[in-house]
Amino acid sequence: MTPHESGAAGAADPNAPDLRTVLVVDDSAMDRRLAGAIIHKAEGWKAVFAGNGVEALELIPRVSPDVVLTDMLMPQMDGLELVEEVRAKYSLTPVILMTAHGSEDLAIRALKKGAASYIPKQFLAQNLAETLDQVFSAAQTKVSERRILDTVMRSETQYEIENDSAMVAPLVSHLEGDLSRMGLCEPSGLMLLGVALHEALTNSIFHGNLELKSEQRETDEKGYYRMAKERRYQEPYRDRRVRVVATLTRDEATFLVRDEGLGFDPSTLPDPTDPANLGKVSGRGLLLIQTFMDHVEHNATGNQITMVKRRAG
């Protein structure tokens, strides 16, 4: 690909500094020449070239670019599609867009899809070197973080929360984050898992610690929540806590949720797999948990639930 056919000469010289690579993707030879010349002058960078998105995707595994710099409007595969592909396959490789007059809308869509930055073409000479450095250093931070996370083999975290339902959503989203970083769950499965955790935590606050009955919610929802609010500050409910232990390994996540309420006889639980219980408020929570988790178990006193989610695939 013209101009300046790749930077292979530099790599052959053992004394040559270790240059970072930009993959320039543009169907215009003039644009490639300009970008190539600026990159050549910028300290520490070299350029390789592709004429469209398809060629770029073929080149990426061979040249492992540190940054991809792409035009928006190109035949074959345009900049928007390229951003999507790179994000999906090489999530740590940042993509910078070059925009011309008339491609701004497309560029905004590409930024929403995860492009790292953009430069208007007429300011390439002024802004490219600085943008490359910025985007590269931000990406490096992510790479180091990912490397450390890859070394985590097991993590166990204990949480203790008051009977405040406002704490449930933030805790669930925090747990989801840990799970996702550990690579235990796909984004789609994550949402379902979040629903299950949400149910378990809500159960232990309302039914466990605050001793409220689901039947009451079915008949008088307002009264149910009013009573929950009052009991938060009353003896003996107010000193009770919900304890959560999240244990993550490479293969599975275990969530233990324990309340300090009176408990119940787990054998009296309605069969959550019976469709007749689907419509009931009380059966629903446990049904969701049973569906989304790979293993669920209660302790004998009914104030602790253990849920296991195994790595998908």
- Chain contacts with another protein (rule: CB under 8 A): 27-31, 33-34, 37-38, 73, 75, 100-102, 121-122, 124-126
* Tokens standing for residue 111: 């930024």
Give me the least distance between CB of 282 and another protein, in Å please.
59
**2 vs 158, beta carbon nearer another protein:** 2
Query: How far apart (Å, rounded) are the C-alpha atoms in residues 299 and 55?
Result: 58
The pair phi, psi for residue 159, each rounded to 5°, is -125, 150
Closest distance of CB 194 from another protein, Å: 44
Q: Least CB distance from residue 76 to another protein, whole Å?
A: 12
Check: CB of residue 13 under 8 Å from CB of residue 7. no
Using the structure block, give the residue that is written with the tokens 């979040």.
194
Could you tell me the sign of the dihedral formed by the alpha carbons of 128, 124, 118, 79, in that order?
negative
Residue 84: how many other CB atoms lie within 10 Å: 18
Q: How far is the CB of 63 from another protein (least distance, A)?
A: 24
User: Quick count: other Cβ atoms within 10 Å of Cβ 175?
Assistant: 23
Task: Answer yes or no: are the C-beta atoms of 69 and 56 closer than 8 Å.
Answer: no
Report whether 41 contacts 24 (CB < 8 A): no
Output 70 or 203, the one with its CB closest to another protein.
70
CB of 31 to another protein, least distance (A): 7
Q: How far is the CB of 193 from another protein (least distance, A)?
A: 46
**Whether the Cβ atoms of residue 206 and residue 212 lie closer than 8 Å to each other:** yes
Smaller CB distance to another protein: residue 34 or 296?
Answer: 34
Return the sign of the alpha-carbon dihedral for residues 193, 199, 202, 208: negative
At closest approach, how far in Å is the CB of 112 from another protein?
A: 23
Closest to another protein by CB, 32 or 198: 32
Region for 180 from its dihedrals, namely left if φ exceeds 0, alpha if ψ lies in -120 to 50, beta otherwise: alpha
Quick one: 27 or 133, whose CB is closer to another protein? Answer: 27
Q: Between residues 110 and 242, which has the closer beta carbon with respect to another protein?
A: 110
Structure-block tokens of residue 118: 């953009």
Residue whose CB is less far from another protein, 1 or 73: 73
Which of 181, 119, 179 minimizes the C-alpha distance to 145? 181
Report the residue number, 32 or 258, with the smaller CB distance to another protein.
32
Cβ(87)–Cβ(113) under 8 Å? yes
The least CB distance from residue 74 to another protein, in Å, is: 10
266 phi/psi in degrees, rounded to 5: -60, -25
Residues 120 and 34 sit within 8 Å (Cβ to Cβ): no
